[in-house]
Structure 1
Amino acid sequence: MVIDGRDVDAASGQTISRESPGHRGKVVGTWPAGSTEDADRAIAAARSAFDEGPWARMSGAERSAILHRVAAGILQHQEELGLIECLETGKPLAQATGEIGYCADLWTYAAGMARGLEGDTHNAIGDNRLGLVLREPAGVVGIITPWNFPFIIVSERVPWALGAGCTVVAKPSEYTSGTTIRLAQIALEAGLPPGVFNVITGTGPAAGQMLAEDPRVDVLSFTGSVRVGTHLAALAAPTVKRVGLELGGKGPQIVFADADLEAAADGIAYGVYHNAGQCCISGSRLIVHNSIRPALLDRLLDISKRLPFGDPLGQGKFGAMVTEQHAEKVASYIAKGLDEGAELLLGGERLAAEQGNFIAPTVFDRVTPEMAIAQEEIFGPVLSTIGFDTPEEAVALANGTPFGLSASVWSRDLETAIQTTRRVKAGRFWVNSVIDGTAEMPIGGYKKSGTGRELGRYGFDEYSQFKGLHMTLGRQQPWFQQS
C-alpha cells in the first residue's frame, strides 16, 4: 500500500493473491490485505496533509505542474501499466494499454483546468455591497473503485479531487489493485507531497467501509453495484458527508428504421461486448424497430460469430470474466432468460474453460420488458433484443428499468435522435455511436444509477466547497437607533 508517501505492508502482515482470469492457475499479483487499522493510518495521513500540509494552499499553477508530471509519468510507464491491467482484469492487452493512454489524457485535462478554477462575483446586490463566491477544496476524499476499469475509474476521480486541492485515500478492488498502487507511486515521483494520495488495499468490509463511516473523511466517491452503493451511503449518513455514486446500468441501444444498419450493428456489438460486457455503460438492451429487426440481427450475429477471444496477451478483442464466480453468475442469467421464454439466437455457453473464465457472445431475441435479462444488470456479453413500432414505445422501453446511466440512439434523422435524447433518462447519451467519452464531458447517472457528476468542469464541483462572502463597503445604516 501507499500511506503518507511510503510503501507499506498491512499491519496484520497478511496478503491477497490474484489469479489471472484469462490464464487459469497463474498468480499475477500479491498485495497487502488491509484492515481498519490500515484505513485509519491512511485517513490520518490524508487529514494531516490537508489540514497542515502545503497541497491545499498551493496555487493552481503549482498543483497543475505536478499533475502534468503525473500524466507524463503515466505515459512513461504505459506498457508496464497496460500489462498489469491486462493480467489482473482479463481484458486484452491492446485494450488495456490503450486505456492507460486515455487516462494520461484525463490527468492532462485536469491539470490544465486546475489553474483555471474560479468562484463568482455579484456586483449588483446594492450600491454599498459586494458578493463573492469562494471555491475551496472540500477536504479529505475517500474513493472506492471497482475491478472492471480500475485505472480509468481512479483517473476519472483522483486528478479532479487533487486539482481542487483535496487529499485522497483510494481503495481499489481486491481483484485489481496493482495499477492504482503504481499510480500513487508515479504521483510521488512526480512531486506530489506525502499524504496527498494514499492507497489502501483489501476487501471492502475490511478496508473500504471505514471511508464511509469515518468523520475525518469529507467526501466519499464510490463506483460499483447499487447494493453496495446504497449500503455505503447509509453508513456515511451519520457523518453528513457528501457522497457521489456511479452505480449500475442497463443501457438501451435504440435503433430506428432509418438507421445505417452496418454502422449500427458494429456499434451494438462493441457496446455489448466491450470488456466482455463487464461495463456499467454497456449497451445490453437492443431496442429495435420491428421493420428492420431481422436485417439488423443478421448483421449483428455475423459479427458476433467472428469475434476473436482467448489469451488476453494475444490478438483477441474479447476478454475474460473477472472471476469464476462472476462467470457462473452470468451463466445463471443466460439460463434464466431461457427459462422465461426468450429465444437464444447465439452463444450462451462457456468457452475454453480450461484456459480461463470465458463466456461466448450471447444474443437473445423475443425478450419482453419484464424478464430478468431485460431488467437486471448482467455484467457479461449478453444482449437482450426487444422490438418497437413507435417512437413513444421506444422511449417507454428505454426508460422501463430502475437504471439511467447511459443510452444510444441510431438514426439518420436529427429530429428523431434529439427528441429521443430529451426523453430518455440517462446521464450519458450517444447518437450513432456508443461508449464514447472525453475528459471534457460529464458522466453520471439518473435514477438508481447514481448521484453526482465526474469529469469536465462539473467534476471539480464534486470536490469543492462554495462559500458566499458578503462585503459591506462603507458604513451601513445602524440596526439600533439610540433615542
Structure 2
Amino acid sequence: MTVLLRPQALVDFKPRAFQMLIDGRWMNGAESMITERKSPAHDTVVSHYHTATKADAERAIAAARNAFDKGPWPRMSGAERSNILLKAADLIASRAEDLAFLDCIESGKPISQARGEIAGAVDIWRYAAALGRDLHGESYNTLGEGTLGVVLREPIGVISIITPWNFPFLIVSQKLPFALAAGCTAVVKPSELTSGSTLVLGEILMEAGVPSGVVNIIVGTGPEVGAPMTTHGDVDMVSFTGSTAVGKLTMANAAQTLKKVSLELGGKNPQIVFPDANLEEFIDAAVFGAYFNAGECCNAGSRLIVHRSIAEDVVARIAELSKRVKVGDPLDPQTQVGAIITPEHLAKIDAYVRSATGNGAELAHGGAPLDLGSGQFMAPTVLSKVRPDMAVAREEVFGPVLSVLTFDSIENAIDIANSIDYGLSAGVWSRDMDTCLRIGRGVRAGTVWMNTFMDGACELPFGGYRQSGLGRELGRHSVEDYTETKTLNMHIGPRTAWWMPR
C-alpha cells in the first residue's frame, strides 16, 4: 500500500497579500480585483493577488518599452549587469526557505523538492550572470583590403515571459536571467495559481539594483493578460512555457506582428529498457521519472517501453516499489508525491486511467484518487498492457501515471517512441553503449538520457522537437536567444563610383 501522510492544518497561518510590480512600483490592478489561491493540499487560502486586466498589461508593456528605449539597463556594460544578477542570486539564496514555502503551499509540491528547485535556480542565475559578461559578436578582416565586417549582438528588446504553475520559480529562472543578461527588459506573467514566488522575485530584483521598469510582474489569466502580452506591437519576443495547445495559440498571436517566439511545451517521454540494463537502477529511475512533482512535469517519464522478455518482471518490481512511495502533506519533508494542482485536473487524470482500463490496460498499482481528508491527491499508478494507440500512451496526462508498453527490437522501440506528436526527452537503459547510441540517434527528442533519467545542468540546452516546442533554454547560447545580430560593413579608403564619367 502506498504510504499516506495526511495534511496537517496550517495553524495560525495568515495568507500573503501581493500587489503587481509595474515600473518599479507595487500597485493595485486597474479594477482592484482580487484572486484567492487555496492550497491544493490543505484547502486553506494561502495567497491573495491583485488581478491584472488588459489595461494593466498595457501599462507594464509601456514601462518595459520605456526602460529599454531610454533607460540604463541595455546600455550598461556586461560586467555591470552581471554584478547585479549575481547579487540577485545571493538574495534568492538568502530567501530560499520563503520561496520554497510559497511554491510548496501554492502548487502542492513536496517541500523537500521545492527547496531543491530554489537551489537549482540560484545556480542558474549565477550561470546567466557569467554568460552576460561573455556575450559578444564577430569580426571579419578577411573580406579584402577595403572591407572590415563586424557583427554585433544587441538585446532584442521587450520580452513577454509567461510561465506555468508546475515549477513556478524554477521556470522563470530558466528565462528571465538570460533575458536580463542580454540587456532586455521584460513583462512577466506567472500562472495565476502559483504567482507568489515570482512576485517575491520582484522584491529581490529591486533590492539587487535592477532599474525601474526593467522587470514588470503582473498576475492574470491568459485571455485577459496573456493575449496583449503576445500581440502588442511594443513586445519584441515571447518566451512561453505551458501546454502545446496554448503554445499554438501563443505562436498564432505572435505571428500578427512577427515576434520571435520561444516555446517549451508538452512531452510524453519514453524510457526504453533492454534486458541487459541494470534493472535495480532502472526501476528506481522509472518510479522517480513517473512520480516526480506528482507527474505534473513536461519531462515526466510517463511511458516505459520495455523489452517483452523482461516486461512482467519490470512491472512487478515497479508496482512493488510504488507501494513505498510517500504521498501526502507537501509540508512534510518525508513526502515524495504531493497534491494535484486543482480538482479539475485530478478529475482529468482519473478519466485517463479509467479510459485505459476500460480499453484493455491492466492496473498493476494505484489507479484512483486518494481521500486524505483535505485537498486532492492521486495514487501513484502503474498501467500494464498499454497499447501505443491508447490515449494514455499518446497524450500528456500530467499526473502520477505510468504506462508500460513492450517492444521486440531496437527498430520497434524507436518506432514506438517516435509514434506520437511530442519529442521533449527520452531515456535508454542498456549496458551496451552501441545500443544506447542507436536509440539516442534514432529517437526524435531534445534530450536523451542514457542509464539515468531527468538529470540536468544549466550548461546543457533544454527544449524539444515537433510539438514539444521551439528553441532551447539554458546552455551557453541561451543569452544569444534574446539578441538580434547586426552587421556593420565598413569600407576603407576610396570607393569606386558606380557611375563613372567617360
Normalization by structure 2: what TM-score?
Answer: 0.95
Could you tell me which residue of structure 2 aligns to residue 370 of structure 1?
389
Preserved CA contact (<8 Å) 2:316 2:364:
no
The alignment yields a C-alpha RMSD, in angstroms, of: 0.9
Could you tell me which residue of structure 2 aligns to residue 357 of structure 1?
376
Question: Which of 39, 44, 47 is equivalent to 1:20?
Answer: 39
**Aligned-pair distance for 1:423?**
1.0
Secondary structure of the residue aligned to 1:309 is: strand
Taking the aligned partners of 1:300 and 1:117, their CA distance within structure 2 comes to 46
**Aligned-pair distance for 1:415?**
1.2
One-letter amino acid of the counterpart of residue 139, structure 2: T
Could you tell me which residue of structure 2 aligns to residue 468 of structure 1?
487
Taking the aligned partners of 2:88 and 2:118, their CA distance within structure 1 comes to 12
Question: Which of 387, 397, 406 is equivalent to 2:406?
Answer: 387
Taking the aligned partners of 2:435 and 2:500, their CA distance within structure 1 comes to 66
Could you tell me which residue of structure 1 aligns to residue 238 of structure 2?
220
Q: Does 2:433 align with 1:414?
A: yes
Taking the aligned partners of 1:391 and 1:131, their CA distance within structure 2 comes to 49
Question: Which of 129, 135, 142 is equivalent to 1:124?
Answer: 142
Query: How many percent of aligned residue pairs carry the same amino acid?
Result: 51
Could you tell me which residue of structure 1 aligns to residue 8 of structure 2?
none
> Following superposition, which runs of at least 4 residues in structure 1 exceed 3 angstroms of deviation?
none
Taking the aligned partners of 1:209 and 1:34, their CA distance within structure 2 comes to 12
Preserved CA contact (<8 Å) 1:427 1:444:
yes
Q: Summarize the alignment of residues 79-478 of structure 1 with structure 2, pairs less than 5 Å apart.
A: 79-314=97-332, 315-478=334-497
**Aligned-pair distance for 1:476?**
3.0
Q: Show CA shifts across 1:225-244 (max 9, x none).
A: 11111111111111111111
**Aligned-pair distance for 1:302?**
1.4
One-letter amino acid of the counterpart of residue 423, structure 1: G
Secondary structure of the residue aligned to 1:267 is: helix
Taking the aligned partners of 2:486 and 2:49, their CA distance within structure 1 comes to 41
One-letter amino acid of the counterpart of residue 438, structure 1: A
**Aligned-pair distance for 1:295?**
2.1
What is the number of equivalent residue pairs in this alignment? 482
Secondary structure of the residue aligned to 2:399 is: coil
Q: Summarize the alignment of residues 33-52 of structure 1 with structure 2, pairs less than 5 Å apart.
A: 33-52=51-70
* Unpaired stretches in structure 1, ≥5 consecutive residues: none
**Aligned-pair distance for 1:353?**
4.6
One-letter amino acid of the counterpart of residue 360, structure 2: G
Could you tell me which residue of structure 2 aligns to residue 8 of structure 1?
27
Secondary structure of the residue aligned to 1:459 is: coil
**Aligned-pair distance for 1:183?**
0.4
Preserved CA contact (<8 Å) 1:262 1:299:
no
Taking the aligned partners of 1:217 and 1:171, their CA distance within structure 2 comes to 14
Moved more, 78-87 or 285-294: 285-294
**Aligned-pair distance for 1:358?**
0.5
Taking the aligned partners of 1:374 and 1:122, their CA distance within structure 2 comes to 51
Preserved CA contact (<8 Å) 2:328 2:372:
no
Q: Show CA shifts across 1:416-449 (max 9, x none).
A: 1112111111112211111111111111110001
Taking the aligned partners of 2:112 and 2:444, their CA distance within structure 1 comes to 33
Taking the aligned partners of 1:240 and 1:321, their CA distance within structure 2 comes to 37
One-letter amino acid of the counterpart of residue 21, structure 2: V
Moved more, 2-11 or 66-75: 2-11
Taking the aligned partners of 1:391 and 1:191, their CA distance within structure 2 comes to 54
One-letter amino acid of the counterpart of residue 192, structure 1: V
One-letter amino acid of the counterpart of residue 444, structure 1: G
Taking the aligned partners of 1:113 and 1:461, their CA distance within structure 2 comes to 9
Normalization by structure 1: what TM-score?
Answer: 0.99
